[in-house]
Amino acid sequence: MCLSLVGGCSFPVISSFVLWVISIYTSSFQATVMRQFYRKVRRFHVLVSLMLSSQTKDEVTYAAMQRLRQRGLTVSQILELRPDELGLLIRPVGFWKKKVVYLQETCKILASKYNSDIPDTIEGLCALPGVGPKMAHLCMEIAWGKVTGIGVDTHVHRISNRLGWTGEGTKTPEGTRKALEDWLPRELWSEVNLLLVGFGQQICLPIHPKCNGCLNKDLCPYGRRSSQSTSQKSPKHGDVNAKKSEQ
Closest CA to 193 of 135, 140, 152, 242: 152
Per the structure, the complete domain to which residue 220 belongs is given by: 152-234
The DSSP output letter for 236 is P
Q: Do 19 and 141 share a domain, yes or no?
A: yes
Q: Do 32 and 88 share a domain, yes or no?
A: yes
Q: What is the CATH number of the domain that holds 214?
A: 1.10.1670.10
Q: Do 141 and 176 share a domain, yes or no?
A: no
In a domain, 243, yes or no: no
Q: What is the pLDDT of residue 42?
A: 93
**pLDDT tens by residue, 84-138:** 999 999 999 999 999 999 999 999 999 999 999 999 999 999 999 999 999 999 9
**φ/ψ of residue 10, rounded to 5:** -80, 160
**Angstrom distance (rounded) from CA 183 to CA 198:** 22
**Angstrom distance (rounded) from CA 21 to CA 189:** 47
The partner residues of 4 in beta bridges, in order of sequence, read 10
**Amino acid identity, residue 202?**
Q
- H-helix segments, the chain: 11-53, 58-71, 75-80, 83-90, 96-113, 122-126, 133-144, 154-163, 173-183, 189-202, 221-233, 237-246
Select which of 97, 134, 146, 210 is catalytic.
134
Q: Do 141 and 159 share a domain, yes or no?
A: no
Q: What is the pLDDT of residue 141?
A: 95
In the chain, the number of structural domains is 2
In a domain, 239, yes or no: no
**pLDDT tens by residue, 163-180:** 999 988 999 999 999 999
Listed residues 100, 118, 148: the one ending a domain: 148
233 is annotated as an active-site residue? no
